[in-house]
Amino acid sequence: MIYTIAFGKGGTGKTSSAAALVNYARMQGRSVLAIDADPQANFTYALKGNPASPGLFDILTDRAQAADVLQHTQQTDLISAGLNLAAGEQAIAGRPGRDFILRDALKDIRKKYDLIVIDTQPDLNTLLINALSASDAVLLPMQANSFSIMGLYQMQETISQVRRFCNPGLTVAGIVLTKYKPRQTLAQDMRESIVQQAQAMGTKVFDTYIRENVAVEQAQALQQSLFEYAGNSNAATDYRKLFAEMQI
Ligand SMILES: Nc1ncnc2c1ncn2[C@@H]1O[C@H](COP(=O)(O)OP(=O)(O)OP(=O)(O)O)[C@@H](O)[C@H]1O
Ligand SMILES: [Mg+2]
């Protein structure tokens, strides 16, 4: 199963959710590959990878095969991102088949893993299309605010384009609300409208939301699994509940 974690707006908890998914699946005894498709390399950092090593850039630009760039960190197997990934995106922009490079690159190694998790950046560009074209499902982490609702419309449009032209089998696992403040009335109201919006789009908002919790940022700063760093924290509790709800 290949999951892309995506949302067309910055800072919505994509990388945090992707890292939690990797760490959770590993705790369940699954073999997991993490792929960082964001030049910011936050996922690489959070999983204690090396952004300077060969990674996704080398795959996209035909410099290496996926198996050659695998990193084995304390937390997971990883195909890293580095700042050169932005240049890689531009390098492939005019190439025929540019949307399918990652899908093809994973053909040989995808069977080795129970789960592959791809973290993406907020731009709706070729890196994101590569991730979505290679995936079975997409998880959409978003915040319960009005700007995110605008991002949701754009995301939906991108997903339908990908389904039409690149990957008809792509499913939307659902929307997860992140950095959520359950006691805030505005957040509750926003949640209601996102639930309705999701229904209109033929998808759903997971019952489980991820509460705002500083442990997420602390674990990332220390490059540790959230579940090991603060297993009893609100965020760890919520992510466990979410992944159970998703039947990971
Ligand atoms: N549940 C949470 N509670 C508190 N802070 C959080 C939570 N989830 C994420 N954060 C923090 O919010 C910031 C943005 O989160 P994250 O990097 O996961 O978002 P992103 O969608 O990957 O961002 P980008 O679009 O830049 O890739 C980070 O500093 C992260 O530590
Ligand atoms: Mg990110």
List pLDDT tens digits, range 131-144: 999 999 999 999 99
CB-CB contact of 122 with 7 (8 Å): yes
* Whether residue 182 has its Cβ less than 6 Å from ligand 1: no
pLDDT recorded at residue 75: 94
Portion of the chain with pLDDT greater than 90, in percent: 96
Ligand 1 probe mutation, 175, 206, 216, most atoms within 8 A of CB: 216
pLDDT recorded at residue 74: 93
- Six-digit token string for 104: 């093809």
Return d(Cα 37, Cα 57) in angstroms, integer.
9
Among all bound ligands, the one having the nearest atom to the CA of 230 is: 1
At a CB cut-off of 8 Å and minimum separation 6, what does 125 contact?
89
Whole-number average pLDDT of the chain? 96
139: three-class secondary structure by DSSP: strand
Among all bound ligands, the one having the nearest atom to the CA of 21 is: 1
Kindly give the distance from the C-alpha atom of residue 42 to the centroid of ligand 2, in angstroms, as a whole number.
6
Q: What is the mean pLDDT of residues 167-177?
A: 98
> Structure pTM?
0.98
* Whether residue 222 has its Cβ less than 6 Å from ligand 1: no
Number of other CB atoms surrounding residue 136 within 10 Å: 14
- Residue 30 — pLDDT band, cuts 50, 70, 90? very high
* Whether residue 62 has its Cβ less than 6 Å from ligand 1: no
Kindly give the distance from the C-alpha atom of residue 180 to the centroid of ligand 2, in angstroms, as a whole number.
17
pLDDT recorded at residue 115: 98
Return d(Cα 155, Cα 105) in angstroms, integer.
25
Q: What is the mean pLDDT of residues 32-45?
A: 98
Q: Note the pLDDT tens digit of each residue in 97-147.
A: 999 999 999 999 999 999 999 999 999 899 999 999 999 999 999 999 999
Domains and CATH numbers, the chain: 2-245 (3.40.50.300)
Beta bridge partners of 36: 119
Q: What is the mean pLDDT of residues 210-239?
A: 98
Give Cα 10 distance to the centre of its chain.
12
Beta bridge partners of 205: 175
pLDDT recorded at residue 82: 93
